[in-house]
């Protein structure tokens, strides 16, 4: 029979203080995990293509790379620059034609669109200054002002004009994977039953997410089947890791899996901003984890079908496979423990 609250002994003061400090520490870690990317983000090494006359391309490349904001790649012409943007080799381009033009892709995020708007103004100012200086040197009147247009070659869908829906998908995917892994670990007994539960959960949850994110909200574009497969792998990658760690090292594995997902992988996933905005090398490192790979893959599937998406597919398959392998290792380890314990009990009985 349980004791009434009044009859229970009071918690020792040392334990009380320790619990308070631990809870405060957890809040601090949560705060750092979710605010650190925004606090430390800087604009650097954004891939940009430039096409035009050789001398002009060399001059603007030197100026842009000196700032450290951009990494410049050459483009033979406007069509080549567009192709590089569509394959996500670069995020934008400067076409030094007459008049100059800046190409961007709002599907990469609002922050990048704003940056390329500023680039257009900078190119426009430099072009007008150069034209005015040339005319003055030749003793001619100033030419008409040059206007640099900005063309969005990969725009966001009208159903997600700000890109908020796609960016916000990362945290629910991470949390959903954690929730599935924790519930299966705690409520389902038996390795094969756990794997079946993971599969059933992954399929059902993925169908629901696609129905809402693509069918209702319109945040996802492209092939719904491919989007469903990507989301299923993302959920399975996180949930199977938690189940596998639980099977391999015990209940502590649930906490380890949650920490990896929530405190390590999610903050460096580059879901809300380009990976180049994060301190190096954490943006690139984040793409090796499920949250980063899943967001990049869904963006490619929705807006950049020409991009090489092999890497994020492999990352998601790798994490899902690792979780299943860990679950199987835990299964065979537990079987051996049961056999050893059974043999010991038999020997004791015989000895008696």
pLDDT tens profile 10-36: 878 888 888 888 778 877 776 776 676
Q: Give pLDDT, residue 339.
A: 45
- How many residues are recorded in the chain? 352
pLDDT band at 335 (very low <50, low <70, confident <90, very high): low
Under 8 Å between Cβ of 131 and 149:
no
8-state DSSP, 147:
-
pLDDT in tens, 167-211: 778 888 888 999 999 999 999 988 889 999 999 999 999 999 999
Q: Does residue 179 or residue 165 have the better pLDDT?
A: 179
3-state secondary structure of 169: coil
8-state DSSP, 159:
G
Q: Give pLDDT, residue 352.
A: 53
Under 8 Å between Cβ of 243 and 198:
yes
284, 50, 114, 152: CA torsion to nearest 10: -100
What are the DSSP E strand ranges found in the chain?
A: 46-51, 70-74, 92-95, 101-104, 149-152
Distances (CA, A) of 116 to 43, 208, 322: 12, 36, 40
pLDDT band at 338 (very low <50, low <70, confident <90, very high): very low
Mean pLDDT of 145-164: 87
Q: Give pLDDT, residue 211.
A: 94
Query: Cis link prior to 266 (omega < 30° from 0)?
Result: no
Distances (CA, A) of 149 to 113, 121, 125, 255, 329: 13, 9, 13, 52, 59
pTM of the model: 0.84
Whether the per-residue pLDDT at 321 is higher than 90: the answer is yes
Query: 143: which residues sit within 8 A by CB, 6+ positions away?
Result: 131, 132, 135
Structure tokens at 159: 């159903």
Q: Give pLDDT, residue 343.
A: 46
* Burial of residue 112, with CB atoms counted within 10 A of its CB: 0-12 exposed, 13-18 middle, 19 or more buried: buried
Whether the per-residue pLDDT at 49 is higher than 50: the answer is yes
Q: Give pLDDT, residue 276.
A: 86
pLDDT in tens, 101-145: 999 999 998 888 889 998 888 888 877 777 777 777 777 777 777
pLDDT band at 267 (very low <50, low <70, confident <90, very high): confident
Under 8 Å between Cβ of 180 and 202:
yes
Distances (CA, A) of 113 to 74, 264, 351: 20, 28, 79
Q: What is the DSSP string of 294-340?
A: HHHHHHHHHH-TTS--HHHHHHHHHHHHHHHHHHHHHHHHHHHHHHH
In this structure, of 64-73, 103-112, 289-298, the range with the lowest mean pLDDT score is 64-73
Under 8 Å between Cβ of 244 and 323:
yes
Other residues' Cβ atoms within 10 Å of the Cβ of residue 313: 16
In this structure, of 24-33, 77-86, 278-287, 323-332, the range with the lowest mean pLDDT score is 24-33
Q: Are strands 101-104 and 70-74 parallel, antiparallel or unpaired?
A: unpaired
Q: Give pLDDT, residue 201.
A: 95
Percent of the chain scoring above 70 in pLDDT: 89
Under 8 Å between Cβ of 145 and 130:
no
In this structure, of 125-134, 227-236, 261-270, the range with the lowest mean pLDDT score is 125-134
Whether the per-residue pLDDT at 342 is higher than 60: the answer is no
Rounded CA-CA distance 137/38 in Å is 48
Whether the per-residue pLDDT at 304 is higher than 70: the answer is yes
Percent of the chain scoring above 90 in pLDDT: 44
Phi and psi (nearest 5°) for 137? Answer: -65, -30
Average pLDDT of every residue of the chain: 85
Q: Give pLDDT, residue 183.
A: 93
8-state DSSP, 158:
G
148: left (phi over 0), alpha (psi -120 to 50) or beta: beta
């Amino acid at each position: 029979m349980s004791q009434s609250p009044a009859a229970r002994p009071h918690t020792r003061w040392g334990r009380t203080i320790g619990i308070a400090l631990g809870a405060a520490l957890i809040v601090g870690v949560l705060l750092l995990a979710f605010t650190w990317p925004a606090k430390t983000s800087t604009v650097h090494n954004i891939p940009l293509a430039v096409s035009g006359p050789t001398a002009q391309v060399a001059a603007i490349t030197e100026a842009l790379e000196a700032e450290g904001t951009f990494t410049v790649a050459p483009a033979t012409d406007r069509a080549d620059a567009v192709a590089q943007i569509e394959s996500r080799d670069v995020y934008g381009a400067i076409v030094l034609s007459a008049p100059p033009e800046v190409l961007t892709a709002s599907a990469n995020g609002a922050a990048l669109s704003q940056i390329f708007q500023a680039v257009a103004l900078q190119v426009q100012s430099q072009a007008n200054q150069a034209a005015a200086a040339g005319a003055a040197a030749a003793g001619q009147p100033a030419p008409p002002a040059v206007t640099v247009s900005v063309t969005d070659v990969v725009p966001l869908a009208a159903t997600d004009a700000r890109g908020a829906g796609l960016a916000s998908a990362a945290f629910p995917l991470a949390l959903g994977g954690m929730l599935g892994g924790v519930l299966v670990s705690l409520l389902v007994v038996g390795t094969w039953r756990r794997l079946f539960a993971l599969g059933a959960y992954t399929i059902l949850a993925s169908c629901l997410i696609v129905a809402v994110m693509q069918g209702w909200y319109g945040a996802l574009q492209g092939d719904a089947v491919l989007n469903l497969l990507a989301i299923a792998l993302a959920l399975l990658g996180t949930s199977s890791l938690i189940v596998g760690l639980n099977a391999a090292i015990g209940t502590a594995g649930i906490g380890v899996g949650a920490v990896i997902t929530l405190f390590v992988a999610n903050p460096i996933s580059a879901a809300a901003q380009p990976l180049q905005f994060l301190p190096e090398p954490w943006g690139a490192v984040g793409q090796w984890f499920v949250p980063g790979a899943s967001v990049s893959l869904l963006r490619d599937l929705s807006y950049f079908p020409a991009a090489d998406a092999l890497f994020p597919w492999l990352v998601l398959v790798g994490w899902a496979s690792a979780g299943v392998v860990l679950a199987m290792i835990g299964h065979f380890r537990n079987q051996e423990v049961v056999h050893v314990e059974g043999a010991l009990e038999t020997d004791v009985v015989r000895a008696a």
